[in-house]
Amino acid sequence: MTRPPSPPSFTTRSGIPLQASYGPDDVPADHRQVMGTLPGQAPFHRGGFAQGYRTKPWRIFQLSGFGKPEDENERIKFLLEHGETGFLMEHDRNTADHMYNVDHPDVVARREDVGQTGAVMQSVREVAICLDGIPIESTYGHAGGAVVQHAPFALAAYWTVAKRRGIPLETLGGTGQSDFFLTYLGCVTKQQIPTAAGLRLNADIIEFCSEHVPKWVPVSIAGYNGGDTGLNAYQELGAVIANAIEYLDEIKRRGRLDMATAAYRVAGVNFRTTMDIFEDAAKLRAARKAWCTLLRDRYGITDERAQRLRIHIVTAGSMMTYQQPFNNIVRGTLMALSAVLGGTQSLGVSGYDEAISIPSEHAHQMSVRIQQILQHETNLASVADPLGGSYYIEALTAEIEKRAWEFAADIERRGGFLATLDSGWLHGRARDNQVAWQQAENDGRQTVVGVTDFRGNSTPFEVDGFPGVNDAFDVALERLKAVRRERHEAGAHAALKRLEAACRGTDNVMPAMMEALDAEVTLGEVGDLFRDTWGDWQTPELI
Amino acid sequence: MTDAARILLVKTSLDGHWRGLSVVARALRDAGFHVIMGGMLTGAEIVRAAVDEDVDLVGLNVGGHVEVVVRAIGELRTARPELPIFAGGVLPPSSCRRLNAMGVETFPPGSSLDDIVTAARRLTAPVAGA
């Protein structure tokens, strides 16, 4: 059944009206003034670095992980062997995101779910297995800890493994995440510490890294998780600005770190690109300009190192279709192109089986190959900001930036980023878009090939997704028992007590967290301590 | 609207992606159903919520392993054999076939809202309203 053709839509995906063509008068005067700057020059909309990808190709950086730590280890090595240039550890949602050990009743009741979304890592032992044989002293790693309450544990575990290998933390490169968008907007857990406690932990991580792990990106604001939950392009950017303001104001209030250093530490952020290729490329250009402006005008920061926003892109998982999944290889390529045209520093391409399961080895391989083809066969990497100077792109960049500032101001009027998460206001904005976009697909205004139209499918291959492994729960339970049996109990107890004192006081929690991990304190014990100390976030109504 | 059919929507896993469920809940509510959001529930908790809320239909949002869903359906069928169930979410084709064979209609990603609303009407047909 084929519907009549959709009426053409002459707006961006975010609803910004589009003209049939653009000329010099369509670029607003204030933006026209900076149009002539080159990549590497403030305000950096044209890119942070004069040489672009010539001297530093974007990092091929795929999220990966499932099952037991050794399963995740094997997949990470597979990706590195195929040409990935950094790796992202994924921890099991049931345990890590909730800070539960596997013997928690809520996990036991769903034992088959365990390991479906990442490896189970309840103690430093399991993180060591996951990292076995991976040269973390020379490979850029994402330690996991995407969810706020899990981040201190995940980082301390990774760093403890590094220390035990004799790697000085001063030399260790990599990134944390601890993302408010994922935690409180996109992927709301059953239990979570309140946003104020999360902000304190993130400030602790930022300050600890500045002193002890200076090459590490301590936290990474992930607009992706707002975007793929429903915020449109300029809302995503506006909310990222509002989030950065919340972090920087907190660091300023604490007064322990100079603001240029703090801003540099917070300047590694993430966005998504969608199938609106030019809107999202323009969004990245607008983001760099807005970041530079924010630091200069609000905080008086003139350090250019801090003013250069560094961007990681994940292509939108929500654009990947369940139907005719091989079409997603094309979608992944186009969304990756958008990211590269926008000047991203690193990139993860969602798997073609994204709507069906976590990635199979083959889907993962294709995500890496897409990036390699773009890097090596297309000449895309030779010239920085190839879209610069296009009347259309410059006008769109200016418009997205303007709307993003308006959205950020709206959030500030409502009490700030944390307040709009607590009240559910941001969830409401995301939900309105979710419903509108789904309705547009439902009534024929938005075509999705293979889903709303062109549904005939002659492929002989059924993609049934990646099943994972079936022994993650049992092995994790045995390992938990072994830790409890074999660790120095008094030492673990004392370390947990010191961690509790840090949490209840104002000292940075990270030194005590490092001691706790070294003493083999487990995930669930830290989770219980957090819950006792800070209680549970009141989740806003989600429909 | 007092006689609107009552639908309990729950997540069977601890995975918090709520976008799909939110859109479906809105569509069902707009179509006149009384929608009750149950949150992340285990099989036993789903049974309790279904009985307490006296619902006419249960919708399972899947973000994990199909075995967890199969077990929840078993518990519901034991407690309330007549209660219809449908399921949506991240369901590979083989999982859909497994649930379909148990008499549970499935709506994987890309399903149309019209089809979901139509199924809800059919499954709650003995009840007036909606």
Taking residues A262-281, report their average pLDDT. 98
Q: What is the pLDDT of residues A390-405, one digit of tens each?
A: 999 999 999 999 999 9
Position A156 pLDDT exceeds 50: yes
Percent of chain A surpassing pLDDT 70: 98
Report B:70-99 residues touching A (Cβ under 8 A).
90, 92-94
CATH of the domain at A330: 3.20.20.240
Residues A192-203: what's their mean pLDDT?
98
Top residue of A191, A318, A438 to mutate, by most chain B CBs within 10 Å, is A438
**pLDDT value, residue B3:** 82
Q: Report which DSSP code applies to A169.
A: G
CA distance A120 to A144: 12
| A128 neighbors A80 (Cβ within 8 angstroms) | no
Contact list, B68 vs chain A (CB under 8 Å): 110-113
Contact A189 B14 (CB under 8 A): yes
Torsions phi, psi for B40 (to 5 deg):
-90, 110
User: Which residue has tokens 């099952």?
Assistant: A67
Question: Going by DSSP bridges, is the β-strand pair A86-89/A59-64 parallel, antiparallel, or unpaired?
Answer: parallel
Structural domain total, chain A: 1
Question: What's the mean pLDDT when you consider all of chain A?
Answer: 97
Cβ of A188 within 8 Å of Cβ of B18? The answer is yes
- A339 occurs within a structural domain: yes
A357:B19 CB<8 A: no
pLDDT grade, residue A9 (50/70/90)?
Answer: low
Cα→Cα distances A34→A28, A315, A390, B93, Å: 11, 29, 13, 52
Going by pLDDT thresholds of 50, 70 and 90, the confidence category of residue A103 is very high
Name which of B12, B19, B46 to mutate to probe chain A: the one with the most chain A Cβ atoms within 10 A of its Cβ: B19
Whether the predicted pLDDT of A213 surpasses 90: yes
A115 contact partners, CB below 8 Å, separation of at least 6: A66, A67, A68, A71, A92, A468, A469, A472, A473, A476
Mean pLDDT of A57-83: 98
Digit-coded pLDDT (tens) for A298-323: 999 999 999 999 999 999 999 999 99
Question: Which residues span the domain enclosing A58?
Answer: 24-449+466-473
Q: Which residues of A touch B39 (CB under 8 A)?
A: 190
User: Which of these ranges, A194-198, A237-241, A476-480, B14-18, has the smallest mean pLDDT?
Assistant: B14-18
> Residue B1's pLDDT is what?
46
Confidence (pLDDT) at A385: 98
Quick check: A113 and A88 in contact, CB under 8 A?
no
In this complex, the residue of A117, A357, A434 whose CB is nearest that of residue B92 is: A357
Contact (CB<8Å) B19/A116: no
Which chain A residues touch B37 with a CB distance below 8 Å? 542-543
* B37 closest CB neighbour out of A228, A356, A542: A542
Q: How far apart are CA A248 and CA A265, in angstroms?
A: 10
Band of the pLDDT at A542, cuts 50, 70, 90? confident
Other C-beta atoms within 10 Å of A199: how many? 18
pLDDT above 60 (res A337): yes
The neighbour count for residue A215, using CB atoms within 10 Å, is 12
Q: How far is CA B74 from the centre of its chain?
A: 14
Residues A177 and A156: their CA atoms lie apart, in Å, by: 13
The secondary structure of chain A in percent helix, strand, coil, rounded to multiples of 5, reads: 50, 5, 40
- How far is C-alpha A460 from the geometric centre of its chain's CA atoms? 35
B58 DSSP β-pair partners:
B8, B85
Cβ-Cβ contacts under 8 Å, B15 against chain A? 93, 113, 117, 187
The DSSP element (H or E) to which A304 belongs, if any, is helix A304-307
Q: Which of A106, A113, A464 sits opposite B93 (nearest CB)?
A: A464
pLDDT interval class at A511 (50, 70, 90): very high
- Per-residue pLDDT, averaged over A186-205, amounts to 97
How wide is the angle at C-alpha A379 spanned by C-alphas A375 and A374, nearest 5°?
30
Map out the domains of chain B with their CATH numbers: 1-8+23-89+117-130 (3.40.50.280)
Residue B127 has pLDDT above 60, yes or no: no
pLDDT of amino acid B125: 92
Closest CA relative to residue B95, chosen from B117, B59, B116, B64: B64
| Rounded Cα gap, residues A333 and A318, in angstroms | 15
Are the beta carbons of A356 and B35 separated by less than 8 Å? no
pLDDT value at A429 more than 50: yes
The secondary element (H helix, E strand) that includes residue A314 is strand A310-315
3-state helix/strand/coil string of B60-125: EEECCCHHHHHHHHHHHHHHCCCCCEEEEECCCHHHHHHHHHCCCEEECCCCCHHHHHHHHHHHCC
| 3-class DSSP state of A110 | coil
A182 within some domain: yes
Dump pLDDT digits (tens) for B71-88: 999 999 999 999 999 999
Using CB atoms, pick whichever of B19, B35, B92 lies closest to residue A230.
B19
Give the other-Cβ count within 10 Å of A472's Cβ: 28
Exposure b/e, B77-112, CB count within 10 A at least 16 = b = beeeeebbbbbbbbbbeebbebbeeeebbbbbbbbb
The pLDDT tens digits for A256-266 are 999 999 999 99
pLDDT band of residue A543 (cuts 50, 70, 90) is confident
pLDDT of res. A8 = 64
d(CA A1, CA A494): 68
Question: Two tokens at A162?
Answer: 């590094």
Do A123 and A95 form a contact (C-beta atoms < 8 A)?
no
pLDDT recorded at residue A1: 46
Interface A-B: count of C-beta contacts within 8 A: 111
Closest Cβ–Cβ partner in B23, B44, B108 for A322: B108
Of the candidates A223, A235, A243, the residue with the CA atom closest to the CA atom of residue A294: A243
Residues of chain B positioned with their CB less than 8 A from the CB of A190: 14, 16, 39-40
Q: How confident is the model at residue A5 (pLDDT cuts 50, 70, 90)?
A: low
pLDDT at residue A401 in the model:
98
Distance CA A286, CA A46 (A): 9
Asked if B15 and A117 come within 8 Å (Cβ–Cβ), the reply is yes
Does A342 map to a domain? Answer: yes
The mean pLDDT of A437-458, rounded to a whole number, is 94
What share of chain B has pLDDT > 70, as a percent? 95
**A311: phi then psi, degrees, rounded to nearest 5:** -120, 135
- Residue A4 has a pLDDT of 56
Q: Looking at chain B, which residue has its C-alpha nearest residue A226?
A: B19
User: Does residue A519 lie within any of the structural domains?
Assistant: no
CA A263 to chain centre: 18
Is residue A117 in some structural domain? Answer: yes
Confidence label for A26 from pLDDT (cuts 50, 70 and 90):
very high
Chain A positions with Cβ closer than 8 Å to B: 93-94, 97-98, 106-107, 109-113, 116-117, 186-190, 228-230, 318, 321-323, 355-357, 430-431, 434-435, 438-439, 441-442, 448, 451, 462, 464-465, 468, 542-543
In the predicted model, is pLDDT for residue B130 greater than 50? no
What's residue A377's pLDDT? 98
Task: Determine, for residues B90 and A442 on separate chains, whether the beta-carbon distance falls below 8 Å.
Answer: no
Say if CB A155 and CB A143 are below 8 A apart: yes
In-domain check, residue A536: no
